[in-house]
Structure 1
Amino acid sequence: MKPILSIQNEELILQRYPARENDTLQAWDSADEYLINTLAERNLDPTRPILIFNDSFGALSNWLSTRGCIYNISDSFIAQQACRENLKENAKASINYLNCRDSLPKNPQAVIIKIPKNNRLLKWQLDQIAQVVSADCDVIAGAKTKEIHTSTLRLFEQKLGETHTSLAVKKSRLIFCRPNSHRPSNPSTEQATIWSVPEYNFTLFNHVNVFAGEKLDIGARFFLEHLPQDPAAEHIIDLGCGNGVIGLQCARLNPDARVTCVDESDMAVASARENADRNLTNPDQLNAMMNNCLTGMQPETADWVVCNPPFHQQNTITDHIAWQMFCDAKHVLKMKGKLRIIGNRHLGYHVKLKRLFGNVTTIASNNKFVILEAEKRPTRTTS
Structure 2
Amino acid sequence: MLSVEDLFSRMRRFPDVEAPNLFAVDAADRLILDEASGALGSAPTGTVVVIGDHYGALTLGSAIRFGAKDIRVYQDRLTGERALENNAEVVGLSGCYRPGPLGEDLLAGARVVLMQLPRGLDDLDEIADAVARYAAPDVVVYAGGRNKHITHAMNDVLRRSFENVRATLGRQKSRVLIADSPLQLAESPRFPVVERLDDLELHVVAHGAVFAGSKLDIGTRFLLEFLPRMREAETAVDLGCGTGILAVSLAKAQPSASVIASDQSAAAVASAAATARANGVGDRVRTLRDDALDSLPDASVDLIVCNPPFHVGAAVHTGSASKMFAAAGRVLRSGGELWTVFNSHLGYKGALGRAVGPTEEMGRSAKFTVTRSTRVR
Please report the TM-score for the alignment, with normalisation by the length of structure 1.
Answer: 0.89
Matching of residue 13 in structure 1 with residue 15 in structure 2: no
Residues 198 and 39 from structure 1, CA distance in 2 versus in 1: closer, same or farther, beyond 3 angstroms? closer
Distance 2:232 2:72 in 1: 47
SS at 2:209's partner residue? coil
Distance 2:278 2:171 in 1: 48
Deviates more, 1:77-86 or 1:129-138: 129-138
Q: What amino acid maps onto 1:45 in structure 2?
A: A
1:44 and 1:67 in contact (8 A); partners too: no
Distance 2:367 2:232 in 1: 32
Residues 168 and 22 from structure 1, CA distance in 2 versus in 1: closer, same or farther, beyond 3 angstroms? closer
In structure 2, the residue matched to 1:93 is 94
Name which of 47, 50, 60 aligns with 1:62.
60
Task: Provide Cα deviations, 1:224-243, integer angstroms capped at 9, x if missing partner.
Answer: 11125567521111100111
In structure 1, the residue matched to 2:199 is 199
Distance 1:9 1:239 in 2: 37
Distance 1:108 1:198 in 2: 42
Deviates more, 1:37-46 or 1:109-118: 37-46
2:17 and 2:319 in contact (8 A); partners too: no
What is the CA RMSD across the aligned residues, in angstroms?
Answer: 2.4
1:236 and 1:304 in contact (8 A); partners too: yes
Residues 353 and 52 from structure 1, CA distance in 2 versus in 1: closer, same or farther, beyond 3 angstroms? same
Matching of residue 252 in structure 1 with residue 249 in structure 2: no
2:36 and 2:142 in contact (8 A); partners too: no
Matching of residue 159 in structure 1 with residue 158 in structure 2: no
Alignment of 1:270-309 (within 5 A): 270-280=270-280, 282-309=281-308
SS at 1:37's partner residue? helix
Distance 2:91 2:73 in 1: 17
2:328 and 2:356 in contact (8 A); partners too: no
1:133 and 1:179 in contact (8 A); partners too: no
Residues 9 and 326 from structure 1, CA distance in 2 versus in 1: closer, same or farther, beyond 3 angstroms? closer
In structure 2, the residue matched to 1:356 is 355
Residues 136 and 279 from structure 1, CA distance in 2 versus in 1: closer, same or farther, beyond 3 angstroms? closer
Residues 108 and 226 from structure 1, CA distance in 2 versus in 1: closer, same or farther, beyond 3 angstroms? same
In structure 2, the residue matched to 1:45 is 43
SS at 2:199's partner residue? helix
SS at 1:374's partner residue? strand
In structure 2, the residue matched to 1:381 is none
SS at 1:124's partner residue? helix
Structure 2 residues without counterparts, runs of 5 or longer: none
* Sequence identity (%): 27
Q: Which protein is richer in helix relative to its size? A: 2
In structure 2, the residue matched to 1:81 is 82
Q: CA deviation at 1:101?
A: 4.5
Name which of 13, 19, 28 aligns with 1:31.
28
SS at 1:87's partner residue? helix
Q: CA deviation at 1:172?
A: 0.3
In structure 2, the residue matched to 1:141 is 143
Matching of residue 111 in structure 1 with residue 113 in structure 2: yes
Task: Provide Cα deviations, 1:119-169, integer angstroms capped at 9, x if missing partner.
Answer: 111111111111234454332111112333333223334422323222111
Q: How many residues align?
A: 371
Q: CA deviation at 1:38?
A: 3.3
Task: Provide Cα deviations, 1:54-93, integer angstroms capped at 9, x if missing partner.
Answer: 1111111111234232011122222112111111122113
In structure 2, the residue matched to 1:267 is 267
Q: CA deviation at 1:188?
A: 7.3
Q: CA deviation at 1:273?
A: 1.4
Q: CA deviation at 1:322?
A: 0.6
Q: CA deviation at 1:358?
A: 4.5
2:238 and 2:262 in contact (8 A); partners too: yes
Distance 1:103 1:203 in 2: 29
Residues 253 and 157 from structure 1, CA distance in 2 versus in 1: closer, same or farther, beyond 3 angstroms? closer
Q: What amino acid maps onto 2:55 in structure 1?
A: F
SS at 1:116's partner residue? coil
Task: Provide Cα deviations, 1:211-234, integer angstroms capped at 9, x if missing partner.
Answer: 222432211111111125567521
SS at 1:219's partner residue? helix
Residues 144 and 298 from structure 1, CA distance in 2 versus in 1: closer, same or farther, beyond 3 angstroms? same
Q: CA deviation at 1:357?
A: 3.5
Task: Provide Cα deviations, 1:243-267, integer angstroms capped at 9, x if missing partner.
Answer: 1111112112222121111011112
Task: Find the structure with the greater CA-based Rg.
Answer: 1
1:54 and 1:75 in contact (8 A); partners too: yes
Deviates more, 1:301-310 or 1:214-223: 214-223
Distance 1:358 1:10 in 2: 42
Q: What amino acid maps onto 1:350 in structure 2?
A: K
Residues 186 and 218 from structure 1, CA distance in 2 versus in 1: closer, same or farther, beyond 3 angstroms? closer
Deviates more, 1:288-297 or 1:198-207: 198-207
2:325 and 2:356 in contact (8 A); partners too: no
Q: CA deviation at 1:52?
A: 0.8
Residues 355 and 126 from structure 1, CA distance in 2 versus in 1: closer, same or farther, beyond 3 angstroms? same
Residues 154 and 188 from structure 1, CA distance in 2 versus in 1: closer, same or farther, beyond 3 angstroms? farther
In structure 2, the residue matched to 1:239 is 239
In structure 1, the residue matched to 2:315 is 316
Distance 1:376 1:231 in 2: 13
Structure 1 residues without counterparts, runs of 5 or longer: 379-383
Name which of 118, 122, 125 aligns with 1:123.
125
Q: What amino acid maps onto 1:147 in structure 2?
A: H
In structure 2, the residue matched to 1:340 is 339
In structure 1, the residue matched to 2:372 is 373
1:263 and 1:292 in contact (8 A); partners too: yes
Please report the TM-score for the alignment, with normalisation by the length of structure 2.
Answer: 0.90
